[in-house]
Amino acid sequence: MSIQSRRERERAEREKLIITAARELAEAEGWEAVTTRRLAERVEYSQPVLYSHFKGKDAIMAAVAVEGCADLARELRTARTAAPDARRAIAGVGAAYVAFADRHPALYDVIFSLAVPLPFATPEAPPALQAAFGELAEAVRPHAGGDDLGALTETFWAALHGLVTLMRGGRLPREHHELRLGLLLARFTG
Amino acid sequence: MSIQSRRERERAEREKLIITAARELAEAEGWEAVTTRRLAERVEYSQPVLYSHFKGKDAIMAAVAVEGCADLARELRTARTAAPDARRAIAGVGAAYVAFADRHPALYDVIFSLAVPLPFATPEAPPALQAAFGELAEAVRPHAGGDDLGALTETFWAALHGLVTLMRGGRLPREHHELRLGLLLARFTG
DNA sequence: CATCAACGCTAGCGCTGCTAGAGTTCGAAG
DNA sequence: CTTCGAACTCTAGCAGCGCTAGCGTTGATG
């Protein structure tokens, strides 16, 4: 039993190592540079070992996404609780969201843009993801008025997501970013 | 000279054929199904012929994107000019934008999401793209108040883009879509 | 010590975007 | 009418991708 538990522990450590290596490689060179061969070389195992832990490359990306969600939730919470009032809370959370996407583009993409097998908007969604959404909702709540909080939060989130992705894809000029963010916040804080 | 012009004409026709085939294949089965081999087979030429017209697959996708921009601009214009007042104009344009993304997901992706070598937000951007943005701007103008029209249009556009992409990626529940769109419009017409 | 299961490896499949170089076609010049 | 040469398209192949079958080794167990 002790031997078995040691093996399980080592397996768990190796799985964590794979996820970390995938994340580091993606953040350093982008997801297109994350191939199963490079990843296997990085963790110093052969390719098939990856498939004994994950169903495929998608599943590895999903695991990285879950990790990233926790980071995002933490940063949003910090921004929200540090704000002195409701108006600066939603502004701070919005800015933190954008800053996270800017500092961790690969992480942001795997969570919100790339096609990965992750449940969203259901009870099976990762707790960290629900936590991140919850932070947005708490920041939006004081400005919801009579509107449905969930739908309004989704709308605010979508607007932030659009700003972030269009700007990073070169579709929106970077120089007006602060202006756009200000206009968005003005529309959501009445 | 007549012979040369005939050849040039035939070349142009074949180029158009490639673009159309790529678009049809993408709209029917998604961009992941558009491989240079399948595309070559579809136009009944060998692979290298594609590369005598376009620098690479990216360039073919960009050509499809430019075509799609024209379609989008036309639909936005129709929606805007058909509206009886400013309020229903922005609502109609927003709905038309979302409907276009819903009916032509592959086309939408290649214009706004996938990484293609297309100039945006510069004078060199495709006229059709500028026209589409112009339609959005005209719909937004009556509700801009003292705000910068360009930046406000970009913000509105980004919000629509976020709603569309998050919903299609399964990140937002489809059932609240109309509600979210209504909330967004309320915040931009209040 | 012999056995056998668990495990990680090598090798390879079918696919991708892309390209070098051979072979063909066809208008132009003699 | 023949011959030349340029324009053009094809076959074949490269390096890399995600993924997997099956062999060989390792190491705990009876």
- pLDDT tens for chain B, 190 residues: list them: 465 666 778 899 999 999 999 999 999 999 999 999 999 999 999 999 999 999 999 999 999 999 999 999 999 999 999 999 999 999 999 999 999 999 999 999 999 999 999 999 899 999 999 999 999 999 999 999 999 999 999 999 999 999 999 999 999 999 999 999 999 999 999 8
Find the distance separating the first CA and the last CA of chain A, reported in whole Å: 62
Ranges of H-type helices in B83-148: 86-103, 105-112, 127-140
Helix pair angle (A177-188, B149-168), 10° resolution: 80
Distance A46 CA to C8 C1' (A): 7
Total-model pTM:
0.95
Beta-carbon-side half-sphere exposure of residue B58 (alpha carbons within 13 Å): 6
Distance B6 CA to C13 C1' (A): 45
User: In Å, what is the CA distance from B11 to each residue of B8, B22, B39, B47?
Assistant: 5, 17, 17, 15
Tokens of B154: 């970009």
Q: Is the CB of A36 under 7 A from strand D?
A: yes
Looking at the C1' of nucleotide D10, which residue has the nearest alpha carbon? B46
Q: Output A37 or A1, whichever has higher pLDDT.
A: A37
> Average model confidence (pLDDT) for chain A?
96
Q: What pLDDT score does B112 carry?
A: 98
Q: Output A1 or B113, whichever has higher pLDDT.
A: B113
Which of A154, A176, A188, A189 to probe by mutation at the B interface, max B CB count within 10 Å? A154
Q: Specify the residue for token string 């969600």.
A: A69
Q: What pLDDT score does A10 carry?
A: 83
Q: What pLDDT score does B190 carry?
A: 80
- How far apart are the C-alpha atoms of B83 and B155, rounded to whole Å? 22
User: Above pLDDT 70, what percent of chain A?
Assistant: 97
Tokens of A166: 């269009």
CB contact under 8 A, A158 and B155: no
